[in-house]
Amino acid sequence: MVIPVAEWAALHDLVHRYAARVDERDFAGVARLFGGDGVLALPNPPRDFGPVREHRGPEGVVAALSVLEEVPLTAHGITGVVFDPGDGPASARGRITCVAHHVSPRDGRFADAVWHLHYLDRYAKTGGEWRFKRREVHLDLIETREVRATRLGR
């Protein structure tokens, strides 16, 4: 079974808005992309590459993402999206691949912790709009790069 084009486009927009709002540090805006009881499940790197911490509801999502306030610059690039129908007409599943850059000062320079990851998502359509029901972050690879220059400086 295939997701209709209009629904696919709405889901595509949802996952890209998540990335953009994280990079803009609009954590309340990210939380609004989740249903009222939505769950954001995160890993605990470098020990755990799979989701081991669950954050429920808008307050949980905001609290989970607030740790990024310590990272001056992030850049999330969505590299692949696959959507499948869910268990009912108002549900869907997704596998989203992403490269997430986390740029921070280190030893008088900037370093980029690059996370290659995929999200396993469950979506629910409520009030005519798609929302995350559950978003799991699965890390595949972490690398660190030296940064020559950023909009933050050199």
Looking up residue 53, the CATH number of its domain turns out to be: 3.10.450.50
Residue 73 inside a domain? The answer is yes
Asked whether residue 153 is assigned to any structural domain, the reply reads no
Q: What is the pLDDT of residue 69?
A: 95
Three-state SS for 108?
A: coil
Ramachandran bin of 145, using left for φ above 0, alpha for ψ from -120 to 50, beta for the remaining angles: beta
Q: Residue 45 falls within a domain, yes or no?
A: yes
Residue 152 lies in a domain: no
Q: What is the pLDDT of residue 152?
A: 78
Given a contact cutoff of 8 angstroms between Cβ atoms, the answer to whether 100 and 115 are in contact is yes
Q: Is residue 154 in some structural domain?
A: no
Q: Give the domain extent around 21.
A: 5-147
The answer to whether 98 touches 121, Cβ cutoff 8 Å, is no
Other CB atoms within 10 A of residue 19 CB? 19
Residue 80 in any domain: the answer is yes
Total number of domains in the chain: 1
Digits of tens for pLDDT over the chain (154 positions)?
789 999 999 999 999 999 999 999 999 999 999 999 999 999 999 999 999 999 999 999 999 999 999 999 999 999 999 999 999 989 999 999 999 999 999 888 899 999 999 999 999 999 999 999 999 999 999 999 999 888 877 6
